[in-house]
Amino acid sequence: MKSLSKSLCCLLVALVATTSVGAQERTLEQVKAEVLRRTTDNNPPFDRLNKAEVERILATLTSLDPNQWGEKWCKAGLEHEAKGDALLKSGGSAKEIGDEYYLAYGYCHVGRYPTTSTPGKVEAYQNMLRMFRKAAKYFDTPLEVVEIPFEGRKLVAYLQKPAGVAKPPVVMYWGGVDVWKEDHQRNSRIMHGKGLATLLIDGPGTGENPLRFREANAERTFVAAMDYLKMRNDVDGSRIGLWGRSFGAYWVAKLAHMYPDRIKGGVFHGGNVHHGFQEAWLRPAMTENAANYLLGPSSLYDSRSYAMGVKSLEEFMKLAPSLSLLDMGLLDKPSAPLLVINGKLDDQAPIADTYLLLDTAARRWRASTRREGIWVSSAA
């Protein structure tokens, strides 16, 4: 009887926990409302899409099944790709053709979002790659698809150089677990306008990067890209900046501390370095919080676990602490200059990691100036 009571208590706890997590998930109708809000506000990944067309697609969705999601959104993409092909064949203008192909990419981008964890989303992603590269032929700033040799494999990246700038410096730019190299044209255009070239690349565990986030020294994919830029004679490979967003910002902090002499500066844009890899933060983030995540916390877990290459939440919790840059001893080492950005209410990357980067940098600076005989107050 005691054993039975214990079993029932465990079952009750499990049911309560499941209900608590489920209560945080968005329903189909809530997701549809959020999609329409983001489309109206021109927010990713629905920026550039046609609201009437989005409403039509949403009307066909009967569940949040990821394969159905991929199929319905990418169906619209295939229609726009066909329109672009027809315009190309009939002699349409470059703008008309490019717009159709870019719309095609946009819809299949949503179809593969947030990650390619099911066959339907893999198919949407393959279509998206083809459509994006068709659209890229019509970009104002030409895009070169580069294949970088990497340990018997290859890294695929996109290089864009601003017009009229001889050997421009380069910003290597990547996203988190759900925003990949095809999805950065808006910010790339801003950098091109400042005379900077961009190398758009997928981080480990995303897109066409051959490594998973969890792999030892996975930052070596970025190092291979830096080596490649150094070899080119049309960009200045000695002046490289980094910009990583969300979960991918981790690599900016790691590279800045490992290769301070090779990097002119980096943008750590809302990422994790230590606290964000601890279970106390991660478990609620991926089961309860993630309020801004389109499909709810479970899809954040889906994206991160796929990038990490793990099969369960418990495996993720066990592995994640090993990624801590603090525990690696890197944060006390010299670093390339970093611009550290985040908000206090971010429920995917703790503000504590932003403060940690700032605090360790301040300690290094104070130690350096004291060695030079200059007193710096503890408030510096």
Burial class (CB in 10 A: 0-12, 13-18, 19+), 85: middle
The pLDDT value recorded for residue 330 is 96
Tokens of 304: 């991160």
Total number of residues shown for the chain: 380
250-301 pLDDT tens trace: 999 999 999 999 999 999 999 999 999 999 999 998 888 877 788 888 888 9
- pLDDT, average across residues 29-36: 95
The pLDDT value recorded for residue 141 is 97
* Whether pLDDT at 107 is above 70: yes
CATH ID of 142-380, from 3.30.565.10, 3.30.450.20, 3.40.50.1820, 3.40.50.620: 3.40.50.1820
Helix segments in 261-296, DSSP class H: 279-287
H/E stretch holding 172 reads strand 169-174
Q: Which amino acid is at 228?
A: Y
- Compare 295 and 366 and report the one with higher pLDDT: 295
* Whether pLDDT at 128 is above 70: yes
What is the C-alpha separation between 275 and 327, in angstroms, rounded? Answer: 11
What is the C-alpha separation between 251 and 254, in angstroms, rounded? Answer: 5
What is the C-alpha separation between 291 and 348, in angstroms, rounded? Answer: 9
| Confidence label for 380 from pLDDT (cuts 50, 70 and 90) | very low
- pLDDT, average across residues 190-210: 97
Answer whether 296's CB lies under 8 Å from 290's CB: yes
Helix segments in the chain, DSSP class H: 2-24, 28-40, 51-60, 66-90, 94-112, 119-136, 185-193, 220-231, 249-258, 279-287, 297-308, 313-319, 351-371
What is the C-alpha separation between 201 and 225, in angstroms, rounded? Answer: 9
Tell me the domain boundaries of the chain: 28-138, 142-380
For 290, the 3-state DSSP assignment is: coil
- Closest residue by Cα to residue 182 from 250, 239, 127, 230: 127
pTM of the model: 0.88
Considering the segment(s) 28-138 as one domain, its CATH architecture is Up-down Bundle (1.20)
The pLDDT value recorded for residue 290 is 78
Residue 13: how many other CB atoms lie within 10 Å: 10
| Confidence label for 3 from pLDDT (cuts 50, 70 and 90) | very low
∠ CA 341-345-350, rounded to 5°: 65
171-183 pLDDT tens trace: 999 999 999 999 9
> What percentage of the chain carries pLDDT values higher than 90?
80
| Beta strands 338-341 and 236-245, pairing class | unpaired
Gyration radius (Cα) of the chain, Å: 23
What mean pLDDT, rounded, does the chain reach? 89
Answer whether 126's CB lies under 8 Å from 208's CB: no
292-351 pLDDT tens trace: 788 888 888 999 999 999 999 999 999 999 999 999 999 999 999 999 999 898 888 999
Name which of 33-42, 276-285, 314-323, 354-363 the model is least confident about.
354-363
Q: CA 53: distance to chain centroid?
A: 26
Sign of CA dihedral 95, 109, 247, 229: negative
* Whether pLDDT at 4 is above 90: no
